[in-house]
Amino acid sequence: MKIAVIGLGKIGLPLAAQFADAGHDVIGVDVHEPTVATINEGRAPFPGEAHLEDYLARLVPAGRLTATTSYADAIPQVDVVVVVVPLFVDRDGQPDFGWMDGSTRDIAANLTRDTLVIYETTLPVGTTRTRWKPALEAGSGMTEGTEFHVVFSPERVLTGRVFEDLRKYPKLVGALSPEGAAAAVAFYQQVLTFDERPDLARGNGVWDLGSAEAAEMAKLAETTYRDVNIGLANQFAVFAEQVGVDVHEVIAASNSQPYSHLHQPGISVGGHCIPVYPRLYLSGDPGATVVRAAREANAAMPAHAVSRLGDRLGALTGKRVAVLGAAYRGGVKETAFSGVFDVVKSLEEHGAVVAVHDPMYTDDELAGLGFTPYHLGEPTEAAIIQTDHAAYSDVTQADLPGVQLVLNGRPALALSLPAELVVTIGRASHG
């Protein structure tokens, strides 16, 4: 097959490499010229994705994978188009389809008969049928279901381990017609391989959910579940602090029986997925009070962490505070919806003098994000661990000269600091 992948970011590029490695000819399309140039040199344009460099170094010189900025060069020659263009939400939590609308118009203008178009970007329920189908029909002059097919198949992978996750989880497919579903199932069966999953009654592989709406909702449901679960854990953590209980012992005890699956609390919920997809769900189901309450609970955690710091230290006005971690998740160089922004904002509102450290970012990159860079070994009166980078497990008191208190916002991270210096989310502190 000839396959086009639209959007060569942290999900799209590994997908393109996976398809090419399965023996197909893949052309990737991205609007960012430096990204395209780097890929065509056989190099990854971003760090941290396991095995991606090896794939590109092998597939690009072999001619199996190329990249371009031109839809006209890519779309007319392919059998399948896979769209992984970002969808954003605005300040009010409503979906912003700007990039995806533009990409869909460019696809439609170059679409040829019998092409299978698959959207993998997470969408509000109903988007494939009510937005992408009419847009592609209008732009191409063809009829979906007879002259081309549109399918939704959500990506279900985590950056840093995309190739592993592609094997691990069933590939969900939802089409607008039986013929489109059959084409999508056949496509993914050719480009993916799956691990054995005896725990799945249906077996691992490609699952046709019967409609685009079912597949759209499945992705939103699995991610919104995580946000709601974390929100519950965070509310438990705040209450546990008030009543002198260690919520982490409570969670371990609760999860010792098979009907409890409580997640872990923490200072923030970041990334492209968990903070965003509940908002996409709410855009279609505004009456989902549980989802809304969880989103609000999680969004309140950075300010709660700063309040705990102030409760122990007193007024933060003029105090130097180091925030350790700009990334939203340990080991990933990405700040999308990272809690660092709200943590820094809250600290500054309390009058603190704030600097930010992250081992994955240069001083110039941190400054570009609007932060004053902090370096381990510089004097500070307090610190907040915002990101669970593994390196922070080794931070000692000597790395934070003058530190009086460290707020550990990532309780799963084991620290080398004296216990009397540390206040942890979900654990009561005294004195």
Helix H or strand E segment including 213: helix 212-243
Report the pLDDT value the prediction gives residue 431, as an integer from 0 to 100.
Answer: 43
Q: Please, which residues have CB within 8 angstroms of residue 322's CB and are 6 or more apart in sequence?
A: 354, 355, 356, 357, 374, 378, 380, 382, 383, 384, 400
Which CATH architecture describes the domain 2-209?
3-Layer(aba) Sandwich (3.40)
Q: Output the CA angle 87-93-95, nearest 5 degrees.
A: 30
Report the pLDDT value the prediction gives residue 428, as an integer from 0 to 100.
Answer: 85
Q: How far is CA 196 from the centre of its chain?
A: 26
pLDDT tens digit string along 278-312?
999 999 999 999 999 999 999 999 999 999 999 99
Could you list the active site residues?
219, 273
pLDDT tens digit string along 11-44?
999 999 999 999 999 999 999 999 999 999 999 9
Tokens matching residue 123: 């969408």
| Higher pLDDT pick, 94 / 254 | 254
Burial 65-82 (b: 16+ CB within 10 A, else e): bbbbeebeebbeebbbbb
pLDDT(166) > 70: yes
Secondary structure letter of residue 298 according to DSSP: H
pLDDT tens digit string along 133-143?
999 999 999 99
Residue ranges covered by each domain of the chain:
2-209, 220-299, 301-424
Q: What's the half-sphere exposure (Cβ side, CA atoms, 13 Å) at 348?
A: 12
Q: Is 55 left (phi over 0), alpha (psi -120 to 50) or beta?
A: alpha
Q: Taking residues 358-370, what's their average pLDDT?
A: 97
CATH class of 220-299: mainly alpha
pLDDT(161) > 50: yes
Alpha carbon distance 277, 269 (integer Å): 12
Question: What fold does the segment set 301-424 form as a domain?
Answer: Rossmann fold (3.40.50)
> Tell me, what amino acid is at 61?
P
Q: For the sheet containing 320-324, what is the strand order?
A: 353-357, 320-324, 382-385, 405-408, 422-424
Report the pLDDT value the prediction gives residue 392, as an integer from 0 to 100.
Answer: 98
The answer to whether residues 83 and 120 touch, using CB atoms and an 8 Å cutoff, is yes
pLDDT(430) > 70: no
Does the fold of domain 301-424 match that of domain 2-209? yes
Q: Taking residues 208-213, what's their average pLDDT?
A: 98
**Banded model confidence at residue 346, pLDDT cuts 50, 70, 90:** very high
Tokens matching residue 239: 């209450």
**How many CB atoms are closer than 10 A to CB 314?**
9
pLDDT(89) > 90: no
pLDDT(396) > 80: yes
